[in-house]
A and B are shown apart, each in its own frame.
Chain A
């Protein structure tokens, strides 16, 4: 089990950040991803394998108006 933005999500061996991003609803297209409080470069999202029990945050960068 992993936690994505405070919500539980089932974990699968080999799953990457990109796999998670495909499975959740991305609210806003400007975002930063952190895994266990470590920021992950966007070009590593495809290859970055998530370990079980990880905490993933998708931080939206939005100051509308």
Chain B
């Protein structure tokens, strides 16, 4: 004990510098609203791995949370109980974010306006939320 006190007294300056450095590292790494390294979080959009089709969602057995960002619901059978309707701007409110983070399976964004789901996806992804996808309804683009 005496030795430890002696050590602390001898190196208090160095120890406080190290402590300060550790605190700064922790602040910079975890206290940001957006996660570090924007390129990494945007990568799924480059490869298109963040886009899911209706068929892919139907084939999934995991705990899906389908978030509708608008008025129109995606017409997917057996998933009506998993749909959550949200205003696009309110998706990053604390309660909604915790719901997204707590969901064990994929969180799928749907909007009748593809731009809205794409923009919301990029914001969520840069916040470090990994399991977020976009449901792309291509049926609108099909020729009659």
B is bound to A: no
Residues in chain B within 8 A of chain A (CB atoms): none
Residues in chain A within 8 A of chain B (CB atoms): none
